[in-house]
Amino acid sequence: MAATAINKHPVPEGARITICEVGPRDGFQIEASFIPTKKKIEIINALFASGLRHMQATSFVSPRAVPQLADAETVLAGIDRPEGSMITALIPNLRGAERAVGAGVDAVHTVVSASETHNLKNVNRSIDTSLMDFEATFALLDRAGVAVEGGIATAFGCPFEGVVPPEQVARIARRYQDLGAASVGLGDTTGMATPATVRAAVQAIRAEAPGLGIGLHFHNTRGVGLACVMTGLAEGVTHYDASVGGLGGCPFAAGATGNICTEDLVYLLNESGYDTGVDLDALIAAAMLTQEVLGRDLPGQVMKSGPRLRRFDPGLTEGATG
């Protein structure tokens, strides 16, 4: 399927861009030391206080597989839920969906890999079997009135197979649409996305599954995460995942590093004339809190340097060159 310019609808300046904060799930899940539940709640509330309204707060996976998120129900019961907020969680299967519904989430995120090898390594199933297994899950969520975003991992490349054809991504997206998903999220699981692969995948989905919403989830493994965001904007995509401080990475993908950083993304979007609804200073404060809780420096850049027009007292700074 050839990508054509006819699918291109750039996001106009001033448009509202939706940012889903995924740090409390995607970031926390790979932390070796257990983060106290109260601290998780404190960080999520600080992120909400910055103006973020979409929050992937946890995951309903087996506590044996991801012990860091064994407190999913307790976290969701303890967080503040501002007006207009959207609480989402990752679910792997029907049991996870049942737990998510019981905990009162607004939406769930399912995942299947676009690469057969990665899907087998991740969940020990073929892609078609995974999608078939989702039928009962989607039926349950439909009865409960919980929205579904169908996640597609390794959407821009696989560390085992290399190139993932955009037609394969589009086929999975169409299957999700047939199951009842209102949108799909394309995951750059190993940081292999480039502007060209993003453009091809988005246009292929638009051709194969018209009307299906598209979200983009980039990692910054090779330093081009925000460049891929700009390509997504040029293709009309208005929903992006990001992680506070640049936390994250995939435990099942060799070489993967953190997600694009929420503060860096907000800075880029605000400075490019888009509306995020987020107070950057408050978001930086939430990132600093996260860094303090984890006890190590985080890779985010804007949390270190501050906004572009930050002012300094010339009497308190030393001379510098460069």
Residues with catalytic function = 250
Instruction: Please tell me what DSSP assigns to residue 275.
Output: B
* Spatial separation of the C-alpha atoms in residues 130 and 123, rounded to whole Å: 8
Measured CA to CA, the distance from residue 86 to residue 60 in angstroms comes to: 17
**Radius of gyration of the CA atoms of the chain, in A:** 19
Q: At residue 111, what is the residue type?
A: V
Asked if 238 and 272 touch (Cβ cutoff 8 Å), the reply is: no
The residue type at 290: T
Q: Which of 92, 72, 73, 214 is nearest to 149 (CA)?
A: 214
Comparing CA positions, the residue from 95, 30, 100 lying closest to residue 72 is 100
Q: Tell me which residue has tokens 């973020």.
A: 52
Q: In this structure, what token pair is assigned to residue 176? A: 């999700």
| Cβ pair 60, 25 in contact under 8 A | no
How far apart are alpha carbons 258 and 251 in whole angstroms?
11
What's the length of the chain?
Answer: 322
- Listed residue (126, 198, 128, 205) closest to 167, CA to CA: 205
Residue 169: partners with Cβ closer than 8 Å, 6 or more residues away: 114, 152, 155, 186, 201, 204, 205
Residues 192, 114: Cα–Cα separation, whole Å: 13
